[in-house]
Structure 1
Amino acid sequence: MSAPDVFAPATLGPVTLRNRTVKAATFEGRTPHGQVTDELIDYHLAPARGGIGLTTVAYLAVAPEGRTHHEQIVVGPDTLAGLRRLTDAVHETGAAIAAQVGHAGPVANGRSNKVHAIAASPMPSPLSMQMVRAASEADLTRVTGAYVTAARTLVRAGFDVLELHMAHSYLISSFLAPGLNRRKDRWGGMLENRARLARQVARAVREEVGDEVAVTAKLSLSDGFKGGVTLDTGLEVAQLLESDGTLDAMQLSGGSSLMNPMYLFRGDVPLREFAATMPLPVRLGMQTPVGRAFLKQIPFQEAYFLDKALRFREALSTPLMLLGGINRRDTMQRAMELGFEYVAMGRAVLREPDLVNRIQAGDAAAGICIHCNQCMPTIYAPGGTRCTVRDPGAPGSQLSLEPHVAG
């Protein structure tokens, strides 16, 4: 049986996509008042007009304390109209649209949100300089209900896919990681307990939306830090979720926003530019050896999660989205040959929003992103996340434009 064409129409649960390419969720920084803006719509229209099959909005919080900071959208009645405007605009291009829905847990900035963050276990927050408190039984019941309410609102808003965020040390991920989950109750200890919240949320959302939309999850195939989700643990979690039958697909990611963010991004480390966006105490801390170790230099290579993702592919029947440094047409097609159903791209389409159209037309064989990661600090700059090579006048851009090749 021949591998599917990455540019041919495909299904994702009940949704038909015009092709198998996905714009991965990349924080936009375009909701200064927690509402959809024209700038946010334009951000997603660019890859949608550029040929992407599914664009993903990142990220939509289910509760006020679940925002990474106060400017993010909390899904609710007061944000519904703007979200509908966003989905309608994307649908006019022929693309589908996903909502990455989640709770940031310990990645939330409690000081910015003006409400303390919660996690599996207490821990100090380097973001707010506050203690993150352990989620209570009442919190977990409330948060699960908030996922359900948000899911219903997002269906009403016209989203085609709901992506449940279960990676990067966000709330659900903090329960999965034994180093972050030191609980002695039914939510801690053995993996079946640590995975309880992930399964509970996925089941509750699926029961709410049925087959009205596709439901997927972003999962970690490895967190990249001691005490985080390992490859074996990530695979066991995926198998538990598959056995529940609640998901239409899984997107395989990695790294931790708290402990090892460069494990996800790879390539150059814009330490100086990143530090410049941080509050003074964090900025000073990043200049120490410990701070510099936080943003580890990990060489970039094409499809850097592929080897680990193949373990998932061999063990699971659930459709999988391959993520991690996908820039080339031959890589996309190779993913299809290896049994992955979709390919997800982030920086490549941030650099070239029309990359999918250009590759499909034969005008390009690969993207031109150099993985300098200067886009990372722009998430905190005026105007939001952008490629500073493509837009050298962007706020926060300090990049030399001399060409070079990422390692």
Structure 2
Amino acid sequence: MSEVPDVLAPAKLGPITLRNRIIKSATFEARTPDALVSDDLIEYHRAPAAGGVGMTTVAYCAVSQGGRTEGNGIWMRPEAVPGFRRLTDAIHAEGAAVSAQIGHAGPVANARSNKATALAPVRFFNPIGMRFAKKASRADIDDVIAAHANAAKLAVDSGFDAVEVHLGHNYLASAFLSPLINRRSDEFGGSLENRAKVARGTVLAVKRAVGDQIAVTAKLNMSDGVRGGISVDEALVTAKWLQDDGALDAIELTAGSSLVNPMYLFHGDAPLKEFAGAFKPPLSWGMRMTGKKFLREYPYREAYLLREAKRFRAELTMPLILLGGITNRDTMDLAMAEGFQFVAMGRALLAEPDLINRIARDRSVHSACTHCNRCMPTIYTRTRCVVTGAPDLPVSL
């Protein structure tokens, strides 16, 4: 048997080397009021970098104006590069690497606040923006794929060490993969081979654009958590195709749908009251009346996506990143023992940006995150932990 790697030791990720195997996962920051990098955004990522992570992931870097989830989000364009360069310099000064999550929100995009047309596999209504997404034409699909390649080049110019291509959560590529959403009958619909064309084409275009200058990873749904959506069996096939295409340095395994079942990714408490309070009527009324169907509760446990992820680990040879319920050293070690090359953390680092440094000093340290998920509705204002308030506190080194 091969030796189990030390999660805190340096590790190769494609052409780069991280100081450890712990990645801060992409969590929408809501700290870009002018759709450009702010000092607040830089501090949001500098804190966990100073706190010991190997790499932090900036989210969400849309590849086009219409590909954003909402109108204050950043999209990759030349005007954004100077701010991104300040951000990447700040992260590198703390000894960490930094990745840009690039993607197109598809049916999740808020066309009203974006002031741009949203795209989807089929005409699709977004209740938050109260607008329909347009059925993407072949030309639209070609434009989106080209926009991903351009975004990746801008990431290189901005000093990023990696890009993460967003293929999850029913954003555009994931919506094409979903048999529930993608009801097309052309070359992009029907069979899984057809439905996977957007995801595979996007990843290949990104790799061609950057070569080995930076690492290329992808976030891929193992399951949408809804009947008729992406299943583990189909996702396994897609993952094997992505592996065979040879354009990725790692896959981060995720789950859930931003459209119909977000709690399948998060697990823990469902903050229905707080979500309803984040919207104005009539959306807030609808959330209070029907929110339990949208915000389904899944009990929290450590490494809650491990069972599904182990199926991918058993059938793939490429590096995999385990996400979901990674909050302490024992769980990190379990991930390493199960054959995963990296772990990704979100809420635990939102609560305590310096958690990794403290775990390095004392392996018995456990996260202060209570899995209340009241941080989730703050993505509509300014993402933060409402329990500890940690992102606004100095990092303890």
Shorter-normalised TM range? over 0.9
Please tell me whether residue 285 in structure 1 is matched to residue 286 in structure 2: yes
Query: Which residue is equivalent to 1:402?
Result: none
Q: What SS does the corresponding residue of 2:282 show, helix, strand or coil?
A: helix
User: What is the rounded CA distance, in whole Å, between the counterparts of 1:116 and 1:147 in structure 2?
Assistant: 17
Query: Which residue is equivalent to 1:7?
Result: 8
How is 1:231-270 mapped onto 2 (pairs within 5 angstroms)? 231-270=232-271
User: What is the rounded CA distance, in whole Å, between the counterparts of 2:159 and 2:141 in structure 1?
Assistant: 27
User: What is the rounded CA distance, in whole Å, between the counterparts of 1:250 and 1:165 in structure 2?
Assistant: 10
| 1:352 shift after superposition | 0.7
Give CA deviations for 1:290-328 in whole Å, capped at 9, x if unaligned.
Answer: 332100111111110000000000000110000001111
User: What is the rounded CA distance, in whole Å, between the counterparts of 1:260 and 1:244 in structure 2?
Assistant: 30
Q: What SS does the corresponding residue of 2:253 show, helix, strand or coil?
A: strand
Query: Which residue is equivalent to 2:384?
Result: 386
1:336 to 1:117, Cα distance in 2 relative to 1, 3 A: same
Query: Which residue is equivalent to 2:205?
Result: 204
Query: Which residue is equivalent to 2:183?
Result: 182
1:294 to 1:315, Cα distance in 2 relative to 1, 3 A: same
| 1:45 shift after superposition | 0.6
Amino acid at match of 2:255: G
User: What is the rounded CA distance, in whole Å, between the counterparts of 1:96 and 1:307 in structure 2?
Assistant: 29
| 1:363 shift after superposition | 6.2
Paired residues of 1:6 and 1:336 also in contact (CA < 8 A):
yes
Amino acid at match of 1:253: T
Give CA deviations for 1:227-261 in whole Å, capped at 9, x if unaligned.
Answer: 21111111111011001001000000000000100
Q: What SS does the corresponding residue of 1:287 show, helix, strand or coil?
A: helix
Paired residues of 2:350 and 2:391 also in contact (CA < 8 A):
no
User: What is the rounded CA distance, in whole Å, between the counterparts of 2:390 and 2:22 in structure 1?
Assistant: 27
Query: Which residue is equivalent to 1:355?
Result: 355
How is 1:69-218 mapped onto 2 (pairs within 5 angstroms)? 69-218=70-219
User: Which runs of 5 or more structure 1 residues have no equivalent in the other structure?
Assistant: 395-407
Amino acid at match of 1:331: T
Paired residues of 2:351 and 2:390 also in contact (CA < 8 A):
no
User: What is the rounded CA distance, in whole Å, between the counterparts of 1:373 and 1:125 in structure 2?
Assistant: 23
Query: Which residue is equivalent to 1:405?
Result: none
Task: Name the count of aligned residue pairs.
Answer: 391
| 1:364 shift after superposition | 4.1
Amino acid at match of 2:323: L
Question: Identity rate of aligned residues, in percent?
Answer: 54
User: What is the rounded CA distance, in whole Å, between the counterparts of 1:392 and 1:2 in structure 2?
Assistant: 36
Amino acid at match of 1:386: R
Paired residues of 1:358 and 1:364 also in contact (CA < 8 A):
no
| 1:69 shift after superposition | 0.5
RMSD (CA atoms): 1.2
Please tell me whether residue 26 in structure 1 is matched to residue 30 in structure 2: no
User: What is the rounded CA distance, in whole Å, between the counterparts of 1:202 and 1:392 in structure 2?
Assistant: 35
Q: What SS does the corresponding residue of 1:43 show, helix, strand or coil?
A: helix
Amino acid at match of 1:391: G
Amino acid at match of 2:342: Y
How is 1:30-41 mapped onto 2 (pairs within 5 angstroms)? 30-41=31-42
Paired residues of 1:251 and 1:323 also in contact (CA < 8 A):
yes
User: Which runs of 5 or more structure 2 residues have no equivalent in the other structure?
Assistant: 393-397
| 1:128 shift after superposition | 1.3
Paired residues of 2:62 and 2:74 also in contact (CA < 8 A):
yes
Give CA deviations for 1:358-396 in whole Å, capped at 9, x if unaligned.
Answer: 101116432121100111111112xx11111112999xx
- Stretches (4+) displaced over 3 A: none
TM-score calculated relative to the size of structure 2: 0.97
User: What is the rounded CA distance, in whole Å, between the counterparts of 2:170 and 2:32 in structure 1?
Assistant: 23
TM-score calculated relative to the size of structure 1: 0.94
Paired residues of 1:349 and 1:355 also in contact (CA < 8 A):
yes
Q: What SS does the corresponding residue of 1:45 show, helix, strand or coil?
A: helix
Give CA deviations for 1:324-356 in whole Å, capped at 9, x if unaligned.
Answer: 011110110111111000000000111110111
| 1:119 shift after superposition | 0.6
| 1:284 shift after superposition | 1.2
Q: What SS does the corresponding residue of 2:59 show, helix, strand or coil?
A: strand
Give CA deviations for 1:22-56 in whole Å, capped at 9, x if unaligned.
Answer: 00001101001101000000000110000000100
